[in-house]
Structure 1
């Protein structure tokens, strides 16, 4: 009986806490810059230089954007890949994760538990403000959990954004006001929920903790299907190397509904991935529809990639061309 209660508790936590709502993960450099800033930004405007601000998802870092960012930079744009607090270059690595002491890993405290969606919003808004001072349009792009930051930042500084782009990302609405609510929706239930892969009790730790270094074949198969379906085994191992163990449960529950008079006036695009098993395609479609209902005169431009899983195509060229082609 105790085992059943524990399993049901873990299932409840995972369903309410987004089923690891969108593991946007990879490895590499975090910031790329194609042009030095002009003192008045005039040259940037005349030459059509944009600044792309790229926001990663859960258990991830700005390094996720390395390949796409590099290609955007080579097309003449400034690119800044944001590391959210305690992610990427600031990442928290549990000591027990390094040693693979699984018993200790189940209880080791995490500073990530204290993070809120406000912390994420402040980090991204600060980068957007600095990018806007460089001159030229600012395009804000978010993958997976990064979408909730896009909605919050769009409410905070809509005048600084020329375009926002959700890449298989959470876009909460009035009926689904948080990432948790999106994932708990009927459409969200089509996603893979790695219940058996949880390490420790999320309610006690305050984080969703996953052991990406597991030697268990079943666990690795779940992770690959969840985020890297269609990737080669070599590419999947590269992704695993860049993953972060912990993500804040509090941030998953933060309200992130775009308002019609702020976020709703920014031109927006959704990159829809047809084989996504983390942000289910059915959920992507519902989020797009509810956003369009809020602002029928400013609807999503939708680009669909039918054969892409959660991380998008293994070849970054397709996504790069979509981002390069955004109308600003």
Structure 2
């Protein structure tokens, strides 16, 4: 039984931010374990994802068209990093009611957490990166896709179309090509029960706004460098290679040695919220 808490010792609220193609639904297996600790836990959607996602007109309507998959323009206004940061900050303010909130960001959502922590460090009690992008100051996220540590990434070869033209990082989730879908499953969920992984793939949005991944964030000691941070390394990740994750940590600690990163490891794929939710929840609860 969890020990009841008083208002004076109640943990800070925890916001869970999912990464590309995912939505707040992806935390459903983790939430019961976190709720048992007595804290307020709120999963939210990243801008352009979940309830904010927009699908190409050809997706899910009639015969699958590979040409349309490669060329269709993602609908709606283009979502930028600033848009995503503004939404996250508004979510933090609503959940925290003016007090700081702990935030866990998965995968590319780490870029948005970093931007908000730099712009409004007083709003973040603790920043937790779950196998997430945590670039060095001013470095474009794309840089980390080209370095030697990124070799073996299984996700990037699955992108369809030219993001500069379509406006999206696109997965072909409407295909009947079982080899392609198996590759998506292997890249994101290789250690997840097959039925659960297939259910997750069915919930993914095919388009993630490419604008969220463009541009770096200049980091300062008074901004992002002042926020307590943790990193959860997923050692079996095939979508964000473990060596890249370790590089993020090393660069952050070199830049801000007075505020080192607390590190935990999970022997997990890119999606421990589905493959080992109890273990993930335990690590999170120890941080916030």
TM over 0.5: yes
The CA deviation at 1:318 is 0.5
Q: Which residue number in structure 2 is paired with residue 123 of structure 1?
A: 87
Aligned residues: 281
What is the alpha-carbon distance in structure 2 between the residues aligned to residue 74 and residue 214 of structure 1? Answer: 40
Deviates more, 1:108-117 or 1:224-233: 108-117
Q: Which residue number in structure 2 is paired with residue 308 of structure 1?
A: 268
Is the contact made by 2:19 and 2:46 (CA closer than 8 Å) also made in structure 1?
A: no
1:144 pairs with 100, 107, 113, which one?
107
The TM-score normalised by the length of structure 1 is 0.79
Distance 1:198 1:170, change over 3 A: closer
Deviations 1:58-105 (A, max 9, x none): 112122222223322232111222212332112212232112432433
What is the alpha-carbon distance in structure 1 between the residues aligned to residue 269 and residue 259 of structure 2? Answer: 27
Deviations 1:285-304 (A, max 9, x none): 11000000111111111001
What is the alpha-carbon distance in structure 1 between the residues aligned to residue 156 and residue 180 of structure 2? Answer: 8
Query: Secondary structure of 1:122's match?
Result: helix
What is the alpha-carbon distance in structure 2 between the residues aligned to residue 322 and residue 112 of structure 1? Answer: 38
Query: Secondary structure of 2:127's match?
Result: strand
Q: Which residue number in structure 1 is paired with residue 252 of structure 2?
A: 291
The TM-score normalised by the length of structure 2 is 0.90
The CA deviation at 1:198 is 3.6
Distance 1:323 1:132, change over 3 A: same
Q: Which residue number in structure 1 is paired with residue 177 of structure 2?
A: 216
Unaligned 5+ residue runs, structure 2?
Answer: none
What is the alpha-carbon distance in structure 2 between the residues aligned to residue 59 and residue 255 of structure 1? Answer: 21
1:255 matched to 2:216? The reply is yes
Is the contact made by 1:55 and 1:141 (CA closer than 8 Å) also made in structure 2?
A: yes
2:123 pairs with 142, 149, 160, which one?
160
Q: Which residue number in structure 1 is paired with residue 55 of structure 2?
A: 93
What is the alpha-carbon distance in structure 1 between the residues aligned to residue 6 and residue 228 of structure 2? Answer: 21
The CA deviation at 1:112 is 5.9
The CA deviation at 1:194 is 4.2
Deviates more, 1:183-192 or 1:234-243: 183-192
